[in-house]
Structure 1
Amino acid sequence: MFESQSYSVILERMLERVPADMDKREGSVIYDAIAPAARELATMYVSVDANLRAVFPHTATDEHLDAITEPFGESRKQATFAVRKGLFYGALNTPVDVPLGSRFSISGVKYTVILKLAAGQFELRCEIAGKVGNQKFGTLLPLDYLDGLVSASLTDVLIPGDDKESDDEYRARFMQKVRLPSTSGNKADYKKWALEVDGVGAVQVIPFWNGGGTVKVVIIDTDMKPASTQLVQNVQAYISPAAGYGEGKAPVGASVTLAAAASVQIQVAAKVVRNGTRTLAQIKTDFEKASDDYLASLAFGQDPSVKYAKVGALMLSIPGVQDYTTFQLNGTTGNIAVTEGSVAVRGAVMLSE
């Protein structure tokens, strides 16, 4: 707002008020007397501008944004811990139980056993909060000796961990609440309730999906992928553990069904022309990451269809790609439709030269 009030502008304005018959050149008594004051005034304008930005939700950041939203009953989501499924085997590939509290590691990330699911199957919670707990799969190494344990592996993401909510994410959620207030079980209410459960990234609400009084709540996780069975059960228990009885967040009489979004696999096949700076494997890795980010940005959006031209442009933006001669999505050269209750996820990526 006060960007125009720079040191040079203020100094020039002050010098204009000095009579013309006085020496106003740099180094003169008048110039040297005015310059420090101009500098201080410019600094003051910077502070005033920063303070103004700190009191409006669309420009505030960090603790200032937290202070603005707190009177509305909102608070920033903190980082959460991923819950994963672990498989444990002894001799002859026989399932073996491990003690609760046992600790394991994979690629430097540590997990603790917290719950038994079945023989040789346990829930493990990551010891580091955030999305890092969702990323690793494969062989687990025990941190202490466990008698009879031959192999251990980390598999499904039961409840994804999430990073601390950024300013942009928190601001968008707060503005949505203010502009679309929840009222007595409206759609905004169901979205709010579902998002209050750790691990939920986005929500679609489908009223009257199976007749009067029915509501279907479709969720995806914080990685913008179909929610796990465990996460669906957690949200169901939070919103409506018993249909119509009002024992959860949902009002009496509402029959609420929670469901994970259906996945629409997006397979890519392309013949790539490299410029010689990177290998095909490196190009594939980067393209898969860019595709994941693009598909996540579409999840439960106003237009969730996957654009053929956009994915093609992503390929051309990858370092090492000069051009491509063929490019197909799911065997076609057109857009891929994603219907309500579904989310696009990356399938096989097949690149050749």
Structure 2
Amino acid sequence: MLEYLEAQTFEKCLTELLERVPDDVDKREGSVIYDALAPTALKLAETYWDMAVLYRRTFAATADGIDLEKRVNEHGVERKKAGKAIRRAVFTDRDGQPLNVALNSLYRLDELLYRVIEAIAPGEFKVEAQTAGAVGNRDYGELLPVEANNKLGKAILADVLVPGEDEESDESLYQKYLEHIRDKAFGGNRADYRKKVRAIQGVGGVRLRRAPYGGGTVKVIIIDSDFNAPTSEFIAYVQEIIDPVEFKGDGYGTAPIGHVVTVEGVGVVDITIECEIILNGVTIGQIEAQANEILEEYFAELRANWYKDLDINVRITHIESRLLEIEGLEDIASTLLNNIASNISLMEEIPELASVVLKEVGL
């Protein structure tokens, strides 16, 4: 149907209208009948185009934006909203001693404001980004007070405790909708756990393990919304939501009563890549930064697919094919991953690029 609607162009509509006119009538461009039918053909083509747009907006597979939201909302699937990052900030006075600052006071780093929301320890506080999204996770450094504080010596923005995340993309929302249709979430089944855990701000993916510590136990392994290993503070935050430590198994979290849940973060394996390369017209120094950037992107793609509950394979062929896109890199003689000339397969872990070592060899 969609193909038919999109095929109804102005030229096609006009041709079909002119075919209905007897051949003994002048139908050439500029004739009376041609000029009379052309506006009608244009309007028909516009109508067909509007119908095609409406058709695409009707179905989840082709809808986007608010239309996709409305479609999936009919099945109880909601778009995950943007969330604000919660960070750890360290405050010291002019003598370098821990300084307690006022709750709700504001501090700035570049364009972002952070509000003090909770004390952690002397001189250490939780601060919340006032702009929602992953942008609140990225910068580190010295904060400046919005209002003058004569006692303040230095304020440092440190760890990400609860990652901020951008509003869920259309692609992610549609995949969540498909999972909801195919795997009905109910009463603590796998689909129910996945739905509830992934709905938590800062969670980018989840894997589940049945009875790792005996009957009635569940292991929940998470990755954060930036597809990195979560901090211990964030793991504790998720644990409190799913199954609070002090009331394990009592059903005070989102986990059903009787389920003793342990939340863990995904493991990390550092990988060093060593390549013997053949260059043409460039030096290692000229391509080193580009090689690192390309391989960081590859590793980020692998980490983003961790949630699919499949093994992650760091493949030498994929590494080499990407590096060979670099202008001036003629060929690759050999590649080692952690000193071994073979792929690395990860089950519960994600890969982290430790370093890239490029060595030039002759032809």
Q: Output the TM-score relative to the length of structure 1.
A: 0.91
Aligned residue in 2 for 1:306: 314
Letter in 2 for 1:347: A
Alpha-carbon distance change, 166 to 265 in structure 1, aligned in 2, over 3 angstroms: same
Q: Note the C-alpha offset of 1:132.
A: 0.7
Q: Is the CA contact (8 Å cut-off) linking 1:91 and 1:148 kept in structure 2?
A: yes
Q: Is the CA contact (8 Å cut-off) linking 1:223 and 1:296 kept in structure 2?
A: no
Aligned residue in 2 for 1:5: 8
Q: Note the C-alpha offset of 1:274.
A: 7.0
Alpha-carbon distance change, 154 to 350 in structure 1, aligned in 2, over 3 angstroms: farther
Match runs of 1:298-337 below 5 Å = 298-301=305-308, 302-318=310-326, 321=329, 323-337=331-345
Aligned residue in 2 for 1:266: 271
Q: Counterparts of 2:359 and 2:148 in 1: how far apart (Å)?
A: 46
Q: Note the C-alpha offset of 1:322.
A: 5.1
Deviations 1:36-66 (A, max 9, x none): 1111111111111111111111111111111
Alpha-carbon distance change, 319 to 190 in structure 1, aligned in 2, over 3 angstroms: farther
Q: Note the C-alpha offset of 1:328.
A: 2.9
Q: Is the CA contact (8 Å cut-off) linking 2:106 and 2:116 kept in structure 1?
A: yes
Aligned residue in 1 for 2:20: 17
Aligned with 2:108 (options 80, 105, 108) = 105
Alpha-carbon distance change, 55 to 256 in structure 1, aligned in 2, over 3 angstroms: same
Q: Counterparts of 2:87 and 2:328 in 1: how far apart (Å)?
A: 36
Q: Counterparts of 1:149 and 1:324 in 2: how far apart (Å)?
A: 55
Aligned with 1:252 (options 247, 257, 262) = 257
Aligned residue in 2 for 1:90: 93
Letter in 2 for 1:233: A
Q: Is the CA contact (8 Å cut-off) linking 1:97 and 1:119 kept in structure 2?
A: yes
Q: Counterparts of 1:318 and 1:129 in 2: how far apart (Å)?
A: 36
Deviations 1:9-41 (A, max 9, x none): 121122222212221111111111111111111
Instruction: Tell me whether 1:216 sits opposite 2:219 in the alignment.
Output: yes
Q: Note the C-alpha offset of 1:221.
A: 0.6
Q: Counterparts of 1:245 and 1:130 in 2: how far apart (Å)?
A: 34
Q: Is the CA contact (8 Å cut-off) linking 1:82 and 1:133 kept in structure 2?
A: yes
Q: Which runs of 5+ in 2 are unaligned?
A: none
Instruction: Tell me whether 1:161 sits opposite 2:164 in the alignment.
Output: yes
Percentage of identical aligned residues: 34
Aligned residue in 2 for 1:290: 297
Q: Output the TM-score relative to the length of structure 2.
A: 0.89
What number of residue pairs does the alignment pair up? Answer: 352
Q: Is the CA contact (8 Å cut-off) linking 1:58 and 1:171 kept in structure 2?
A: yes
Deviations 1:97-150 (A, max 9, x none): 222223222233222221111112111111211111111122323333323332
Q: Which runs of 5+ in 1 are unaligned?
A: none
Q: Is the CA contact (8 Å cut-off) linking 1:291 and 1:346 kept in structure 2?
A: no
Letter in 2 for 1:307: R
Q: Is the CA contact (8 Å cut-off) linking 1:194 and 1:200 kept in structure 2?
A: yes
Q: Counterparts of 2:119 and 2:153 in 1: how far apart (Å)?
A: 18
Aligned residue in 1 for 2:181: 178
Aligned residue in 2 for 1:76: 79
Instruction: Tell me whether 1:349 sits opposite 2:356 in the alignment.
Output: yes
Q: Is the CA contact (8 Å cut-off) linking 1:100 and 1:114 kept in structure 2?
A: yes
Q: Counterparts of 2:343 and 2:58 in 1: how far apart (Å)?
A: 43
Q: Counterparts of 1:103 and 1:327 in 2: how far apart (Å)?
A: 50
- The alignment's C-alpha RMSD in Å is 2.3
